[in-house]
Amino acid sequence: MRKGGPARSLPAFSQGIERTASTSGGAASRGYVAGMSARVDLVALHAEEYAAGRTPRVVPTTPARYLSLDGAGQVHGDLFLEQALELSALLRDLRARARRETGKDFRLPPLEALLGVPRAPGVEVDPRCAVPWKLLLRIPAFVRSSDLAALAGERAGNGHGPASPRIEELREGRCIQALHLGSFAGVPGTVDRLRRAAADQDLAVRGRLHQVWLSDPARTSAEKHRTVVRLPVKAR
């Protein structure tokens, strides 16, 4: 939770990730336009990828498109939360643009992030040090790179928004994941459990640590955070 000043909520968590993950319809959102198609709920469409318990399990993941932003620092620190809030605000503007121009709508997704050094030989994250991150917000196919370029230009001209957001595709394939309860300081322990569970199934971990926030990191105290911790795997 941020220290100093009133806490701000990530827009994706305004109604709770549990509602986002468990429903695909519901009442029309504020700003709904008559004749607009039903909202796309990417979490509901890919529910298996967002389900996790304390026991590690292997899940198949599909290629996913994300609005992303790179940075580095303390996970859950001020810069991390500021960038997450800025990226979420940008996504809200992209959603409004899609509504106006295409009549299509989507639910705001939970915050995700890739953590650790890209293309490193192993998955190593030290909570005591600055951690490279790629913040991620999952988006549907009808959100286009041209929309982002136009909107980013407008916001930059007005002195608002992150400087270098991108739209990119993530292909992780098979992964092993588990629910993590508590602060980021305890994530290495969950990573170790995932490594051991993967080895028991004759699998090796690869790629970057992938974390999905099921509770709002901007408003929830660290000891109450609920996240999915995911590692891509391959056959040994």
Q: Is residue 1 part of a domain?
A: no
Look at the chain and report how many structural domains it folds into.
Answer: 1
Residue 160 lies in a domain: yes
What residues have CB less than 8 Å from 126, skipping those under 6 apart? 188
User: How far apart (Å, rounded) are the C-alpha atoms in residues 230 and 64?
Assistant: 15
36 assigned to some structural domain: yes
Q: Is residue 9 situated within a structural domain?
A: no
pLDDT at 14: 43
Residue 103 and residue 118: Cα distance in Å, rounded? Answer: 37
Residue 230 inside a domain? The answer is yes
The DSSP annotation for 119-179 comes to T-SS----TTS-EEEEEEEE--TTS-HHHHHHHHHHHHHTT-S-S--EEEEE---EEEEEE
Per the domain annotation, does 207 fall within a domain?
A: yes
- The per-residue pLDDT for 23 is 31
Domain CATH number, residue 228 = 3.20.80.10
Instruction: Say if residues 113 and 123 touch (Cβ distance below 8 Å).
Output: no
Does residue 67 form part of some domain? Answer: yes
**pLDDT score for 36:** 58
**143 contacts 167 by C-beta, under 8 angstroms:** yes
Q: Domain for residue 84, yes or no?
A: yes
Output the pLDDT for position 235.
95
Distance CA 57, CA 177 (A): 6
Domain hosting residue 57, numbered range: 16-25+32-235
Sign of CA dihedral 114, 195, 181, 140: positive
Tell me the CA distances in angstroms from 32 to 78, 88, 95, 96, 98, one per residue in order: 33, 19, 11, 10, 12
Torsion over CA: 86, 62, 119, 147 (sign): negative
Coil, helix or strand at residue 6: coil
Q: Are strands 131-138 and 112-115 parallel, antiparallel or unpaired?
A: antiparallel
pLDDT 10s digit of each residue in the chain, 236 long? 554 544 566 755 544 444 433 333 333 344 444 555 689 999 999 999 999 999 999 999 999 999 999 999 999 999 999 999 999 999 999 999 999 999 999 999 999 999 998 876 667 778 888 999 999 999 999 999 999 998 877 766 565 555 589 999 999 999 999 999 999 999 999 999 999 999 999 999 998 999 999 999 888 888 899 999 999 999 98
DSSP string, 51-99: ---SS-EEEE---EEEEEEEEEE-TTSHHHHHHHHHHHHHHHHHHHHHH
